[in-house]
Amino acid sequence: MNGRLQKNGGNVASYFCTADSRVVHAIAKPVSADKLLQAAVWAVETHRGALLADSQDLLIQRDFVQQAHLAKLDTTRESFRWKIDEEMPAATKTYDKKMKDDKTRWKESPGSAFLIASRRAAQKLGGNRAHQIMAAQPLAKLSEVYKEVFEKLTDERVINNRGVIFTAARALEAARESGMPVLLVLYDGKGDDKDEWDSKTKDMVKDVLGSPRVVSVLRNYAKVYVPKRQIAALSNLTDMPLYEEARNSTPVLIITDPAGTKTGSMHGTISPDQLAIQLWPAIHMTTLAHAQKLAEVGELTPALKVLQTVRTVPTSAEIHKRTLLMIDQVKLMVGEKWLAEGRHESALKILAKLSRLSGDEDVRRISADLVVRIRTENAGQ
């Protein structure tokens, strides 16, 4: 589909919450409508039961919700408490160690020893992972549990630093507005936020993108660097397609037109010369699109100048053929304009040539009809 994949939004987590943002249940990854409905019904019925147990006391409501999750794990609350007690000594050591660490190394306070023990005990129960997580933190605030749910159920990290994605989104939007082709560099992110270039990407940027031949071509491109793990987030911000090539080994280079339609892709080892050859077609296609817009608003002479520029440079046979056809189409528009202005002699000259030599059958036919019309009118004068 024009180099695009059906957009599916990447990994997601759904949280079934109370009115005050306490999580009753959660489910992750794209699931069927039936499975999502089943989880939603369970959450509604469980919350209703908690309110019937006590509409005011949050502790009683938490106990009820926890027992509901534990029942799904074939475990009683008493058995779960025993397992928590077993985990407490090791959990306390973990908590103490985190508290002694330099706080600049982690961005949020560590969970309490009891929470650490509860999560470890729940994980050892077996069964559904979502029920395990929520049994350890029944009716927790969404802000307290969303990260645990997402990371444990999707095997992906919550990315707190979105600077790279917002920068990429702005670059894509600017390319779309200016009509500039795009070179997407997809890489395996490193570092705490998984947005730093990996070693292969660093080498490629230095040795290939930084080579004189490629640099000169890339002046006509918007360059956008995106960690693979954040492609779905960028897609949601910009409606960028989820490209199939992103699954390939890093770094992956994808060439697109200003609208995001893929025109080429590469991954693995590539030389500067090979990349430069791959980059030129998108520039030429963008130039042709610019010429078409000029012609559509009546700027026929500037459009022809742009097209003649493309015609005289080395390019693919397909682009060369398209350029010649567009030149003939614009010349036909010029002939029609001159005819409407009463410049019959000039119009006849350009239209007669098109009727004989144009590679576009429609242009030849229309030009021939106009030539007959002009000659008939001239003969009657």
Q: What local confidence, expressed as pLDDT, does residue 371 receive?
A: 92
Whether residue 162 has pLDDT greater than 70: no
Q: What local confidence, expressed as pLDDT, does residue 3 receive?
A: 40
φ, ψ of residue 14 to 5 degrees: the values are -110, 130
Q: What local confidence, expressed as pLDDT, does residue 380 receive?
A: 63
Whether residue 8 has pLDDT greater than 60: no
Q: What local confidence, expressed as pLDDT, does residue 263 receive?
A: 84
Per-residue pLDDT band at 160 (split at 50, 70, 90): low
Q: What local confidence, expressed as pLDDT, does residue 357 receive?
A: 92
Whether residue 63 has pLDDT greater than 80: yes
Q: What is the mean pLDDT of residues 6-14?
A: 58
The percent of residues above 70 in pLDDT, for the chain, comes to: 90
Q: Average pLDDT of the chain?
A: 86
Q: What is the mean pLDDT of residues 141-147?
A: 88
Per-residue pLDDT band at 377 (split at 50, 70, 90): confident
Q: What local confidence, expressed as pLDDT, does residue 71 receive?
A: 95
More reliable by pLDDT, 81 or 189: 81
The percent of residues above 90 in pLDDT, for the chain, comes to: 48
Lowest mean pLDDT among 144-148, 240-244, 373-377: 240-244
Whether residue 194 has pLDDT greater than 70: no
Per-residue pLDDT band at 5 (split at 50, 70, 90): very low
**The residue count for the chain:** 381
| Extents of the domains making up the chain | 13-154, 163-278, 298-379
What would be the CATH architecture of the domain defined by 163-278?
3-Layer(aba) Sandwich (3.40)
pLDDT tens-place string over residues 241-261: 777 776 677 788 999 888 888
Per-residue pLDDT band at 6 (split at 50, 70, 90): very low
pTM of the model: 0.56
Task: Give the C-alpha separation, 281 to 319, whole Å.
Answer: 8
What's the per-residue H, E or C state across the chain? CCCCCCCCCCCCEEEEECCCCEEEEEEECCCCHHHHHHHHHHHHHHHHHHHHHCCCCHHHHHHHHHHHHHHHCCCCHHHHHHHHHHHHHHHHHHHHHHHHCCHHHCCCCCCCHHHHHHHHHHHCCCCCHHHHHHHHCCCCEHHHHHHHHHHHHHCCCCCCCCHHHHHHHHHHHHHHHHCCCEEEEEECCECCCCCECCHHHHHHHHHHHCCHHHHHHHCCCEEEEEEHHHHHHHHHHHCCCCCHHHHCCCCEEEEECCCCCEEEEEECCCCHHHHHHHHHHHHHHHHHHHHHHHHHCCCHHHHHHHHHHHHCCCCCHHHHHHHHHHHHHHHHHHHHHHHHCCCHHHHHHHHHHHHHHCCCHHHHHHHHHHHHHHHHHHHCC
